[in-house]
């Protein structure tokens, strides 16, 4: 069970409390009670540790306060605390909706510190003694290797299985839950990619150690979205007031789904959806954006959209999601290409992004243009994943 990011800690009369609720304390209590220990409600004194999962937050259980002190609930405002030594607010990283902009800013600050560590000639030992397991049921190059590099650069060690769908006990019929229960006995954190949407949430509900979703089928890819937003901020210099074109396979692309969730945290953002009809963005994302006041528009004219945008986020048409309907795949692919002609209409300070791998949706002659940010984007994945491993395992 992931602990919600909205939980913060405030202290009145020595008791930890929930967001917007605190304790007013008094030495007086009604004469009809034999002691102040009766009908007292609250109190957890701290957040659960990183190994966390089965903690229960109980506001109705009678708990004895300090002798002579009566505690009452009242409303207060609290703020997130990102102080060194504090526990990270999340116990797992499963979806883009977990993050708010304050947490994103704090994570990006840690990522910038990770950039310094990566450039240093001195080996970091921040995560010395920790083990990370990468459990990948689908192919991966950048995500798996950047996580493994991140762990090693911070002094940790890696246990890895590639193509777990065929070369693990899953091929023998073992359930995901049993695999997770087994693997958590060998490691301190699990990074998992799976072919089924929702598999990461299931793994997190099972595990008693942190789980990071490295992509769950057509569901979400939150760490990719984090590095994408980090890249936009680094390249454009802002996140409020930007316009972004999401292009390509928007129905099956987990990266664009997670990115849309994160972009919704910022002000005056406009999102354009440009895709073949058969792989249009799903309604749940559109409804989420609308409910959060984010302006969005569907278009079939990439040239027109690209001329207005700060970011053109291209994605490949995912053949593996079409099953045996290769006719539909062939009908969708090749419709929207980023090439020299598109560069000609784009703004001088705009950027082109892609989660990679690419096929033919960005031509190779675009690579030399300074607006082609996709390889810098991939490198940023290392810093974001270093930051997340550090935060999940040892805190701020």
Active site residue 194: no
Active site residue 70: no
* Active-site residue, from 193, 254, 265, 333: 193
* Active-site residue, from 221, 257, 270, 385: 221
DSSP for 327-382, please give it. Answer: HHHHHHTTSS-B-HHHHHHS-TT-EEE--S--SSSB-GGGTTSTTB-HHHHHHHHH
Token digits for 316?
Answer: 């490949």
Half-sphere exposure of 61 (CA within 13 A, CB side): 7
How long a stretch of residues is the chain?
396
Q: Report yes or no: 206 and 231 within 8 Å, Cβ to Cβ.
A: no
Q: Which of 186, 133, 132 is nearest to 155 (CA)?
A: 132
Cα separation, 228 vs 315, in Å, equals 13
3-state SS assignment for residue 277: helix
Q: Which residues pair with 57 in a beta bridge?
A: none
Cα separation, 11 vs 67, in Å, equals 18
Q: Report yes or no: 178 and 171 within 8 Å, Cβ to Cβ.
A: no
Backbone angles phi, psi at 282, to 5 degrees: -75, 155
* Active-site residue, from 79, 119, 172, 348: 172
* Active-site residue, from 41, 86, 101, 142: 142
Distance (Å) of CA 262 to CA 5, 143, 187, 389, 390? 14, 19, 30, 20, 21
Active site residue 172: yes
Active site residue 143: yes
Q: Report yes or no: 313 and 228 within 8 Å, Cβ to Cβ.
A: yes
B/e letters for 368-393, b = 16+ CB within 10 Å, e = fewer, are: eeebbbbeebbebbbbbbbbbbbbbb
Active site residue 238: no
* Active-site residue, from 143, 187, 255, 315: 143
Half-sphere exposure of 178 (CA within 13 A, CB side): 7
Q: Report yes or no: 362 and 340 within 8 Å, Cβ to Cβ.
A: no
Q: Which residues pair with 44 in a beta bridge?
A: 16
Q: Which of 287, 220, 293 is nearest to 259 (CA)?
A: 220
Residues belonging to the active site: 142-143, 172, 193, 221
């Amino acid at each position: 069970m992931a602990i919600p990011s909205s939980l913060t800690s405030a202290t009145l009369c020595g008791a930890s409390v929930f967001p917007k609720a605190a304790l007013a304390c008094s030495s007086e209590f009604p004469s009809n009670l034999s002691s102040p220990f009766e009908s007292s409600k609250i109190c957890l004194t701290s957040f659960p540790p990183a190994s966390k999962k089965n903690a229960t937050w109980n506001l109705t259980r009678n708990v004895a306060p300090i002798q002579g002190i009566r505690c009452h609930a009242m409303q207060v405002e609290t703020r997130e605390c990102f102080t060194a030594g504090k526990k990270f607010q999340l116990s797992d990283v499963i979806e883009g909706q977990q993050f708010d902009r304050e947490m994103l800013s704090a994570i990006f600050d840690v990522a910038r510190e990770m950039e310094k560590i990566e450039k240093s000639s001195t080996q970091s030992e921040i995560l010395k003694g920790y083990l990370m397991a990468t459990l990948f049921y689908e192919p991966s190059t950048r995500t798996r290797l950047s996580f493994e590099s991140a762990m090693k650069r911070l002094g940790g060690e890696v246990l890895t299985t590639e193509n777990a769908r065929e070369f693990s006990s899953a091929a023998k019929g073992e359930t995901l839950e049993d695999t997770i229960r087994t693997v958590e006995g060998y490691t301190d954190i699990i990074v998992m990619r799976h072919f089924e949407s929702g598999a990461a949430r299931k793994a997190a509900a099972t595990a008693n150690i942190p789980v990071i979703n490295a992509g769950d089928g057509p569901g979400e890819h939150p760490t990719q979205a984090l590095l994408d937003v980090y890249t936009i901020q680094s390249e454009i210099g802002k996140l409020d007031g930007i316009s972004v074109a999401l292009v390509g396979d928007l129905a099956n692309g987990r990266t664009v789904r997670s990115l849309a969730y994160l972009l919704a945290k910022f002000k005056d953002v406009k999102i354009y959806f440009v895709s073949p009809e058969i792989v249009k963005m799903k309604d749940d994302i559109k409804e989420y954006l609308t409910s959060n006041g984010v302006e969005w528009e569907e278009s079939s004219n990439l040239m027109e959209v690209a001329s207005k945008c700060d970011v053109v986020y291209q994605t490949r048409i995912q053949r593996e999601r079409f099953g045996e309907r290769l006719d539909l795949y062939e009908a969708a692919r090749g419709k929207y290409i980023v090439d020299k002609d598109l560069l000609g209409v784009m703004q001088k300070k705009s950027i082109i992004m892609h989660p990679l791998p690419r096929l033919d949706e960005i031509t190779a002659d675009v690579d030399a243009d300074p607006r082609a940010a996709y390889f810098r984007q991939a490198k940023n994945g290392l810093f974001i994943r270093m930051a997340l491993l550090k935060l999940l395992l040892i805190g701020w």
